[in-house]
Amino acid sequence: MSDGIAVHKHLAASVEDVPAEVLARTDVLYTSTVFPTAEQAPRLGWVQLDTSGCDHVRTTRLWQSSTPITTIGGVSPKPLAEYALMMILAHAHHLPAMVKLQNEPRWPDFDHRWNRLMPRMLPGATVGIVGYGRIGREIGRLAQAFGMNVIGMRRGGGRSGERFGEAPENAATEVVGRDGLHDLLGRSDYVVLTVPYTDATHHLLDHKAFAAMRPGAALINAARGGVVDETAMLRALRSGRLGFAALDVFATEPLPLDSPLWNEPNVLITPHVAGFSPAYHEQVKALFTENLRRFIAGQELLNLVDRNAGY
């Protein structure tokens, strides 16, 4: 890279929207949509994605290259962890049912309140966290504060260059590998998905996984829609095997208006907002600045994508 640094900013939906002469002189690319080939950007030494996931890059020639790719994954674990706890509490305290009563409006009799609105106890309940990374560990920390037992599932151990910002050190009561998924599902009152979306996690929760779940368990999906087989989830909801689903992500987004999920009584839908954070831009800026410093100094980058793992 030359001694001087020139910055070019382009609103681009694809690589075709960026002038060829700019790509030819690009050493560092910050993007979520522009993925040039080696011929288009021969000097490219590093790509920083403006996304936490990288599944949208895996079908491009950039993915097949040796150019380092980094993500903004996990820059803000607290809001997403709080979202997961909010949904656990919403289920435990029958929030959707009480909102429905308000909207009718109706004040139920004592028997209805006692028998149908009695809260579920969180102390002693078990939350299974599928994807026990930075966000998963923060969910575990909050769940433990409520007296819950925690089981985390993770593909492997820690990854080099993973930590940025806040990454809690608390250990789950138990951590299992991929082969422990069905055991985790069978023991969990609440299942929270924060796993990356890869070929290996596509429809991770399929018919067999839902059949393995504890009857009446609750599911919170704040990962990616493709991690769940939505047909299998609907069947599990209607059979009662799955008692509640809080869904922030879907296989198709925006969620089509004709999707049966909109009217499913035990589903709470949010429009892909679980990862929003008031400090998002500051945290992303800090991550990119630190990675740029490391890139110039020839040091290991943070949040480096492992192409073999797919994230």
Question: How many Å apart are CA 90 and CA 99, to the nearest integer?
Answer: 11
End-to-end CA distance of the chain: 27
CA-closest candidate to residue 52, choices 197, 232, 161: 197
Angle at 161 between CA 159 and CA 162, to 5 degrees: 60
Q: Indicate if 253 belongs to the active site.
A: yes
Catalytic residue (one of 25, 61, 116, 253): 253
CA-closest candidate to residue 165, choices 299, 295, 286: 286
Torsion angles phi and psi, residue 246, rounded to 5: -105, 120
Contact 74, 295 (CB under 8 A): no
- 129 has which bridge partners? 152, 192
Exposure letters 145-162 (e unless 16+ CB within 10 A, then b): eeebbbbbbbbeeeeebe
DSSP state string for 42-93: TT--EEEESSS--GGGTTSHHHHS---EE--TTS-HHHHHHHHHHHHHHHHT
Axis-axis angle for helices 134-145, 77-92 (nearest 10): 40
CA-closest candidate to residue 131, choices 216, 38, 60, 228: 228
Catalytic residue (one of 272, 290, 294, 307): 272
Catalytic residue (one of 154, 224, 230, 241): 224
Q: Indicate if 272 belongs to the active site.
A: yes
Which helix H or strand E contains 280, and what residues bound it?
A: helix 280-297
Residues with catalytic roles: 224, 253, 272
